[in-house]
Amino acid sequence: MKPELPWHSRFDLLGITFLIFLLGALGALPSIEGSGRDLDYWGNLSRFTSQFFPPDWSILNRTLEGLLETVQIALVSTLLSIVISIVLSVGAARTIAPVWLLWPTRMILNVIRTIPSLLWALLAVVIVGSNPLAGVIALTFYSVGYLAKFFSETFEAADTDAQQALRSLGASPLQAFQFGLWPNARPIIWSHCLWMLEYNVRSASIIGYVGAGGIGLHLKLYAESADSWNKFSLVLLFILLIVTVLDFTGEKIRKSIRDKLEGQKI
């Protein structure tokens, strides 16, 4: 006979969290309301979107230049944030850092994550002026908040067996980290980096809106001048293209890492 579980046993932490989420979302519905005016939603939408077509190809060269700058901002800021994050993440990993270092580091990361990328961009523009450097600074800070958290979680979850084995075979703690823990964490860490690069290309295309370099500035100009929505749509088209290419290659690389890691199971 199957033993009956008490009814409340299915309410574990995960179940309760989901329930709270669901209640919260449904409870929020009544407060989400429109302007109350009687607007022709569909008419507005179709009139507006029809201005996007056909895209204006005359600005192709300028757009490509802007895109190149966007990708450059993303590349540099991702590289910088990886270097900073690896250092910070060691301080934020429960399994590695002592408590006096753990909480301050985590607090700093929380603060960094609280500030949205557009605000970082504004801050950077105020400090270094309106140029791509501002974009690099903004996205570096923004990415560190996420990457360092991901990295530290990866270190915490990584298999520590090899590290212990190397310690017992005579390696120093730092050597055991480099050759025991790092190889196990590295594939996951690279895949986080790849994700961050994709994300930064997307972010880099919007922060230009506040003057931090890249294609965002073009978007702002076209959005603010009359009858330029067809130029706006060409820019969007190219952002879509580049993000899709990144997404596709990123997925390929991540899959090959996964396959390699899973290896031959016996």
Partner 1 sequence: MSTALLTTQELGITINDRPILKSLNLSFNPGTFVAITGPSGSGKTTLLRTLAGELEPVEGKVVNYLDCPTRLAMIFQDLKLGDGATALTNVLGGSLGRHSFLSTLFRFPAQEQEKAHRLLAKFGLSGKSNQWTSTLSRGEKQRVAACRTLLTQPQLLLADEPVSSLDPALAEEILTNLSNSILKQNGCLVCALHNDEQVTKFADLVLRLDPSDPNGWMLEDLKPKEVG
User: What does the binding site for partner 1 look like in residue numbers (CB under 8 A)?
Assistant: 159, 161-162, 164-166, 168-172, 174-176, 178-180, 183-187, 260-264, 266
Beta-carbon contacts of 215 under 8 Å, excluding residues fewer than 6 positions away, are 63, 66, 67, 69, 70, 204, 205, 208, 235, 238, 239
* Minimum CB–partner distance for residue 161 and partner 1 (Å): 4
* Minimum CB–partner distance for residue 257 and partner 1 (Å): 9
Question: Is the CB of 54 or the CB of 170 nearer to partner 1?
Answer: 170
Give the DSSP per-residue string, 148-171. Answer: HHHHHHHHHHS--HHHHHHHHTT-
Could you tell me if 208 and 219 are in contact, meaning their C-beta atoms sit under 8 angstroms apart?
yes
* Minimum CB–partner distance for residue 46 and partner 1 (Å): 53
Beta-carbon contacts of 151 under 8 Å, excluding residues fewer than 6 positions away, are 85, 86, 88, 89, 93, 185, 189, 192
* Minimum CB–partner distance for residue 166 and partner 1 (Å): 5
C-alpha closest to that of 149 among 120, 116, 192, 179: 192
d(CA 262, CA 194): 19
Question: Is the CB of 185 or the CB of 207 nearer to partner 1?
Answer: 185
d(CA 257, CA 264): 14
Question: Is the CB of 44 or the CB of 95 nearer to partner 1?
Answer: 95
Question: Is the CB of 25 or the CB of 266 nearer to partner 1?
Answer: 266
* Minimum CB–partner distance for residue 178 and partner 1 (Å): 7
Please tell me whether residue 26 adopts helix, strand or coil conformation: helix
Can you read off the two tokens belonging to residue 190?
């690279």
Question: Is the CB of 88 or the CB of 185 nearer to partner 1?
Answer: 185
Question: Is the CB of 185 or the CB of 206 nearer to partner 1?
Answer: 185
d(CA 187, CA 197): 15
Question: Is the CB of 29 or the CB of 266 nearer to partner 1?
Answer: 266
* Minimum CB–partner distance for residue 66 and partner 1 (Å): 38
* Minimum CB–partner distance for residue 135 and partner 1 (Å): 33
Instruction: Please state whether the peptide bond connecting residue 54 to the residue before it is cis, i.e. omega within 30 degrees of 0.
Output: yes
Beta-carbon contacts of 57 under 8 Å, excluding residues fewer than 6 positions away, are 234
